[in-house]
Amino acid sequence: MTTTSAPPKTVAVVTRGGTTEPRRRRSRRSTSVFAVIGVALALVWVFPIYWMLNSSLQTDEQLYGSGLTLFPTDLFTGNFERVIADQSFWRAMGMSATVTALAVVVAVLTAIAAAAAVSRFRFRSRGAVILVILVIQMIPAEAMFISQYRMMDSWDLINSALGLALLYAGHSIPITIWMLKGFIDGVPYELEEAGQVDGLSRFGAFRHITLPLLAPGLVASSIFAFLSSWNEYTLALVIMKDNAFATLPLWLRRFNVSYEATDWGGIMAGSALIAIPVIIVFLIVQGRMATGLVGGAVKG
Amino acid sequence: MVLTVDAPPATGARPLPPRRASVLRRAAPLWLGLPAVIVVIVTQGYPLVTQIIMSFQEFGLAQQFGQPAEWIGLDNYTRVMTDPVFWGVMVRSVVFGAVVAGLTMVIGVLAALLMTKLPTVIRVALQVSMLLAWAMPHLSSLTVWQWLFNTRNGVVNTVLVALGFEQFRGYAWLLDPASFFVIAGAVVIWGSVPLVMFMVYASVTQVDESIMEAAQLDGAGPFRRFFSVTMPIIAPVLFLVGMLQIIWDLRVFTQISVLQDAGGVTSDTNVLGTYIYQIGLGQGDYGQGSAIAMIMLVLTLVLTAGYVRQLLKNANQS
């Protein structure tokens, strides 16, 4: 900027008064450069999703023809109709829904009690408990699936929605406790104490005073558990060995293999059908999810 | 509320609230946490312990059909460690994890800083497109990326040929390990940049505007302002996100496994996760598979040790 060697304060004043014009011009030019980069970045990130929808609405002639069809001008719905008529799609949908619902219910119910314990009660090993929660979170699932498979096999829970749901719940519980703890910390304990003085039991005070205030946290952590179970692939691959028990991610893989020549139109329609509900849920709760994660991370 | 003031115990306890509270609060915590602890121990703790045990045992197909497993000490580990294939896999995993996590962090942080400079309309457009990418289920995005890079009808090959790169006519990206990892890396980066961007952006916007102005008035240029003012404030978030990226990218399984099924050469593209799957569940050698898994676990723990130590310090302080 300026090359004066005067004391900082003076420089500041001089800079302000003297160089307003060039700096404004420069910042305007850099703003438009930033804008171009921003638009390019947005386009690169949205393109695969656009291309999925675009391809899912095209006929085979358009998909495998010589040129590219950049816009789905015909709005061909045959790919979606084919997927929706496919029984294995609905079976996988039902399996995913069952596994996910079981996993979310088990994870959230057990985690809320544990989070209340960690947040509300002071005990000596509290720091250690939080640490254990985090360390479990760090253990890669890939380091354990051999013995998880063996365990489920010995309990006859291979190809079982319950077996897979239990594994998912166990994986989600630590992070769910962590998120819920952050939310419970945010509700002052004095509120519950006031309730107890007014004659509520301790459980009653938690149930009638804190729990309603936790609704956003419960929604956020349930959604988080929902998403990780709904999208999970590795354990599903290990536990659901039989095609008849495939969850949606596995179905999408086998859909690819089972046709003679890969049916890309159908696969894109299937991908879209799996992604759209997730994206909608995600858009609804995105703000809360980020705060939930960061809240837990910052408060420890 | 008025009642609290009138109630004698409350007023009496006022000078010593923590102690009274701790006596009151000690009654129930154990059983409240019990169901969660049981589920976690059964599904995570127990398998981890049995896996550690198996890594010291001869545990192949015969043992799976009832023959008692024999203790063989460190044999599984020495067998793995002396196998050049394992080291190939190890190097591939570490390089892939480091490169992908590094690129993810650089792109994510730059995108977050860029966001603070953008006019509102473009910023919202960028946020929405990142959010959509973040929300995409892995398997959906994987199939889309396979289609983008499809040999005959993929948009990437078509565009490259149209631009004059004739060598991409009918180019099979998944067959060559180098281009296989380009696609795998692109899918992973595309999916993980949004989280980095949103978390870093959230912490950058917490940097006080007036501090920035003061630094600017004192003559600090944009780079100086970034490294001396912004950086120290966002450092904890960067540290956490960066560490998560490294762990996640080191243990990448889904993307590699799916792309292998779609036409990659397994022996040239295995990473730790898929190698454990192949040795353990594919060939039925639970013992060696477990040993590799334990090596992976130790690697993860070493990488996260610094963070855990920091947390421990914080936990002791509070």
Q: What is the pLDDT of residues B236-267, one digit of tens each?
A: 888 888 888 988 898 899 999 999 988 878 88
- Per-residue model confidence (pLDDT) at position B3: 32
Q: Under an 8 A CB cutoff, do B43 and A139 touch?
A: no
Q: How many whole angstroms separate alpha carbon A236 and alpha carbon A248?
A: 10
B222 or B184, which is more confident? B184
Partners of B71 in beta bridges: B57
CB contacts, 8 Å: A39 with chain B: 122, 125
Q: How many whole angstroms separate alpha carbon A118 and alpha carbon B33?
A: 8
Q: Under an 8 A CB cutoff, do B30 and A193 touch?
A: no
ipTM of the complex: 0.82
Residues in contact with B98: Cβ distance below 8 Å, sequence separation at least 6, in sequence order: B246, B249
A281-296 confidence digits (pLDDT tens): 877 776 665 555 544 4
- Per-residue model confidence (pLDDT) at position A23: 55
Q: Under an 8 A CB cutoff, do B44 and A64 touch?
A: no
Selecting from B218, B254, B272 the residue whose C-beta is nearest the C-beta of A233 gives B254
B176–chain A nearest CA distance, Å: 21
- Per-residue model confidence (pLDDT) at position A287: 62
- Per-residue model confidence (pLDDT) at position B313: 74
Query: Taking residues B214-236, what's their average pLDDT?
Result: 84
Interhelix angle for B138-148 vs A20-56, to 10°? 90
B87 band by pLDDT with thresholds 50, 70 and 90: very high
| Helix intervals (H) in B118-172 | 120-135, 138-148, 155-162
A64–chain B nearest CA distance, Å: 6
User: What is the second-level CATH architecture of the domain A80-299?
Assistant: Orthogonal Bundle (1.10)
- Per-residue model confidence (pLDDT) at position B10: 38
> B71 φ, ψ to 5°?
-75, 130
Selecting from B44, B125, B144 the residue whose C-beta is nearest the C-beta of A51 gives B144
Most confident of A132-136, A198-202, B147-151: B147-151
- Per-residue model confidence (pLDDT) at position B31: 80
- Per-residue model confidence (pLDDT) at position B141: 92
Q: Under an 8 A CB cutoff, do A116 and B36 touch?
A: no
Q: How many whole angstroms separate alpha carbon B72 and alpha carbon B76?
A: 8
Q: Under an 8 A CB cutoff, do A127 and B190 touch?
A: no
Q: How many whole angstroms separate alpha carbon B276 and alpha carbon A143?
A: 8
Chain B residue closest in CA terms to A12: B217
Residues in contact with B279: Cβ distance below 8 Å, sequence separation at least 6, in sequence order: B285, B288, B289, B292
A148–chain B nearest CA distance, Å: 6
A258–chain B nearest CA distance, Å: 12
Q: Under an 8 A CB cutoff, do B50 and A122 touch?
A: no
B121 band by pLDDT with thresholds 50, 70 and 90: very high
Q: Look at residue B252 and give its three-state secondary structure.
A: coil
- Per-residue model confidence (pLDDT) at position A92: 93
- Per-residue model confidence (pLDDT) at position A247: 94
Which domains does chain B possess? Answer: 75-317 (1.10.3720.10)
Mutation for B interface: A10, A45, A157, most B CBs within 10 A: A45
- Per-residue model confidence (pLDDT) at position A22: 55
Chain B residue closest in CA terms to A203: B28
Q: How many whole angstroms separate alpha carbon A64 and alpha carbon B25?
A: 68
Q: Under an 8 A CB cutoff, do A51 and B147 touch?
A: yes
CB contacts, 8 Å: A202 with chain B: 28
- Per-residue model confidence (pLDDT) at position A38: 94
CB contacts, 8 Å: B36 with chain A: 110-111, 113-114, 173, 177
Q: Under an 8 A CB cutoff, do A34 and B137 touch?
A: no
Q: Under an 8 A CB cutoff, do A294 and B48 touch?
A: no
Selecting from B111, B130, B315 the residue whose C-beta is nearest the C-beta of A300 gives B315
Yes or no: say if A199 and B68 are a contact pair by the CB < 8 Å rule.
no
- Per-residue model confidence (pLDDT) at position B126: 94
Yes or no: say if B260 and B266 are a contact pair by the CB < 8 Å rule.
yes
B105 band by pLDDT with thresholds 50, 70 and 90: very high
Please work out, in degrees rounded to the nearest 5, the angle formed at the alpha carbon of residue A243 by the alpha carbons of A239 and A246: 60
- Per-residue model confidence (pLDDT) at position A178: 82
Phi-psi region of A71 (alpha: psi -120 to 50; beta: other; left: phi over 0): beta
pTM of the model: 0.82
Which DSSP helix (H) or strand (E) runs through A66?
none
Which DSSP helix (H) or strand (E) runs through B58?
strand B57-58
Selecting from A1, A109, A271 the residue whose C-beta is nearest the C-beta of B144 gives A271
CB contacts, 8 Å: B9 with chain A: none
Query: Taking residues A260-276, what's their average pLDDT?
Result: 85
Q: Under an 8 A CB cutoff, do A110 and B39 touch?
A: yes
Least confident of A75-84, A123-132, A249-258, B68-77: A123-132
The whole-chain average pLDDT of chain A stands at 80
A139–chain B nearest CA distance, Å: 7
> B173 φ, ψ to 5°?
-60, -35
A9-63 confidence digits (pLDDT tens): 433 334 444 444 555 566 777 888 899 999 999 999 999 999 999 999 988 888 8
CB contacts, 8 Å: B155 with chain A: 51, 68
Least confident of A157-161, B17-21, B216-220, B274-278: B17-21
B2 band by pLDDT with thresholds 50, 70 and 90: very low
CB contacts, 8 Å: B152 with chain A: 64
Least confident of A2-16, B168-182, B223-237: A2-16
CB contacts, 8 Å: B111 with chain A: 41
- Per-residue model confidence (pLDDT) at position B1: 31
- Per-residue model confidence (pLDDT) at position B19: 46
Partners of B57 in beta bridges: B71
- Per-residue model confidence (pLDDT) at position B255: 92
Residue A41: exposed, middle, or buried by beta-carbon count in 10 A (0-12, 13-18, 19+)?
buried
> Per-domain residue ranges for chain A?
1-47, 80-299
Neighbours of A7 (CB within 10 A): 8
Q: Give Dmax (Cα) for chain A.
A: 81
Residues in contact with B82: Cβ distance below 8 Å, sequence separation at least 6, in sequence order: none
Cα dist. A146→A191, B30, B59, B295 in Å?
47, 31, 11, 14
Least confident of A7-11, A236-240, A293-297: A7-11
- Per-residue model confidence (pLDDT) at position A65: 77
- Per-residue model confidence (pLDDT) at position A49: 94
B64 band by pLDDT with thresholds 50, 70 and 90: confident
CB contacts, 8 Å: B7 with chain A: 197
For chain B, how far is it from start to end, CA to CA, in angstroms?
29
- Per-residue model confidence (pLDDT) at position B7: 35
- Per-residue model confidence (pLDDT) at position B309: 78
B29 band by pLDDT with thresholds 50, 70 and 90: low
Q: Under an 8 A CB cutoff, do A139 and B44 touch?
A: yes
Query: Taking residues B227-237, what's their average pLDDT?
Result: 84
CB contacts, 8 Å: B218 with chain A: 8, 12
- Per-residue model confidence (pLDDT) at position A186: 82
- For the cut 80, the answer to whether the pLDDT of residue B316 exceeds it is no
Query: Taking residues A114-121, what's their average pLDDT?
Result: 82
A8 band by pLDDT with thresholds 50, 70 and 90: very low
- Per-residue model confidence (pLDDT) at position A98: 96
**What percent of chain B lies above the pLDDT cut of 70?**
88
CB contacts, 8 Å: A143 with chain B: 48, 51, 251, 276, 293-294, 296-297, 300
- Per-residue model confidence (pLDDT) at position B78: 93
- Per-residue model confidence (pLDDT) at position A77: 86
**What percent of chain A lies above the pLDDT cut of 70?**
81
Smallest Cα–Cα separation from B98: which of B189, B201, B198, B195?
B189
The whole-chain average pLDDT of chain B stands at 84
Query: Taking residues B213-228, what's their average pLDDT?
Result: 85
Q: How many whole angstroms separate alpha carbon B278 and alpha carbon B298?
A: 20
Q: How many whole angstroms separate alpha carbon B37 and alpha carbon B295?
A: 26
Q: Under an 8 A CB cutoff, do B253 and A48 touch?
A: no
- Per-residue model confidence (pLDDT) at position A14: 40
CB contacts, 8 Å: B16 with chain A: none
Yes or no: say if A55 and A264 are a contact pair by the CB < 8 Å rule.
yes
B210–chain A nearest CA distance, Å: 14
Q: How many whole angstroms separate alpha carbon B134 and alpha carbon A48?
A: 12
